[in-house]
Chains A and B, each alone.
Chain A
Amino acid sequence: MKEIVVISGKGGTGKTSITASFAYLARSVAVIADCDVDAADLHLILKPTIKRKENFYSSFEAKIDPVACIGCGKCERVCRFDAISSENRIFTVNPLNCEGCGYCEKVCPVDAIKMTQKLDGEWYISESRYVTPLVHAKLGIGTENSGKLVALVKNVAKQLAQKSNKDIVLVDGSPGIGCPVISSLSGAHFVVFVTEPSVSGIHDLKRVYELAAKFNISAGLIINKSDLNHEKTNDLISFAEQNNILFLGQIPYNENFTQAMIKGLSIVEFSDDEISKTIRQMWTKIVNFVEN
């Protein structure tokens, strides 16, 4: 079983639209995992029917038992995040400010403070409209994506793939370069980097490449909206060549991305023109590379 992860540094590069197309092309052999839980959009195309729903607990927050509290104020004094305030010696926690460090719990002389796990969101096993299984998640407001959630979503997807004899786990990866991305890449066999020819696109490619190289994961490059800036497109291609990144192809600026999205379809389902052919070829290249 091979794990293929699609990532992009900044948003808006068309990563999810391309992942949705790959999901369609791999529909009979893959399990899909959406780890872009900060801005999860893949479900808008895959239109999943939820089969199983689970709560996700990860971060902690302090809770003060008003009966046990003696109003000494130690907790408020040690908190570095202004999360505890008091009115008439009644102490309360502002959950949006609480970091979950537990310092207050440790200094409370009467054990009136308990760190409780926060309900951070939900995760789901679903059946997409291609019947392909999809594992995805939704986080609450002010809750950060974490390596834990990404690892969980990927693990569930891998188990499903094993059980149902699927060859591929296709992952819509997290944005940025922090902990969730590291978790997205960890254990992967191939990483597809989707970018656009802009100053920030090149900058992001370099950062992500460093990460993939350190993890010894083979990488491929897709340039979207490639005709917006030919010079930068060429820069991207030569960076890929110099660094042993498989150049998978380029897609000129194209309204099909939006039109397909409005119809709730992936690009390859929406039309059969050049763009669709290019995306099909990209997927074939990836599969050939991963299988050899």
Chain B
Amino acid sequence: MKIAFTSKGNDLDAQVDARFGRCPFIVILNTDDKSFEVIDNQSSADEAHGAGPKTAQKLSEYDCNVLITGNGPGGNAATLLEKLNIDIYIGAGDMLIDDALNAFNSNSLKKF
């Protein structure tokens, strides 16, 4: 399974960023072999509008099953993520990625 985390940093030691569209990085963890990939999303800070859809487009190239974030995406991005069949879990803002993963595994994150 591939789990995407909106992240403040570019590795597995980072904290989850509560935002979706304007999160600086997305860390994607493959739970089967514990490998990870990183999407650099720092350019989202340059978008006046529509940062959410643009981030969703980047994410679409990675075949993720689950997205773990803080507040949840705004309306435009939510529509796109629905098309990607990604389950979104929220409430992990500021948690360490590891802690967020544990919270997800113990069903204590809220489904968006």
Contact = CB atoms under 8 A, between A and B. Distances in A.
Whether A and B touch directly in their complex, counting CB atoms under 8 A apart, is answered as yes
Interface of A: 58-59, 146-148, 151-152, 155, 179, 182-183, 185-188, 214-217
Interface stretch (B28-36, B44-52, B79-87, B95-103): B44-52
Q: How large is the interface on B (under 10, 10 to 19, 20 to 34, 35 or more residues)?
A: 20 to 34
A216 B48 contact: no
B45 A187 contact: no
A186 B51 CA distance: 12
Interface string B65-100: 000001110100000000000000011010000000
B87 to A, nearest CB: 16
B93 A187 contact: yes
Interface of B: 17-22, 45-49, 51, 70-72, 74, 90-91, 93, 110
A152 B19 contact: no
Contacts of B47: 147-148
Given A151-B22, A187-B17, A187-B71, A216 B46 contact: no
Given A186-B22, A187-B17, A217 B71 contact: yes
B49 A216 contact: no
Contact of B71 (A58, A179, A215): A215
16 contacts: A58-B48, A146-B49, A147-B47, A148-B47, A148-B48, A151-B45, A152-B45, A155-B45, A185-B71, A186-B18, A186-B19, A186-B71, A187-B18, A214-B72, A216-B72, A216-B90
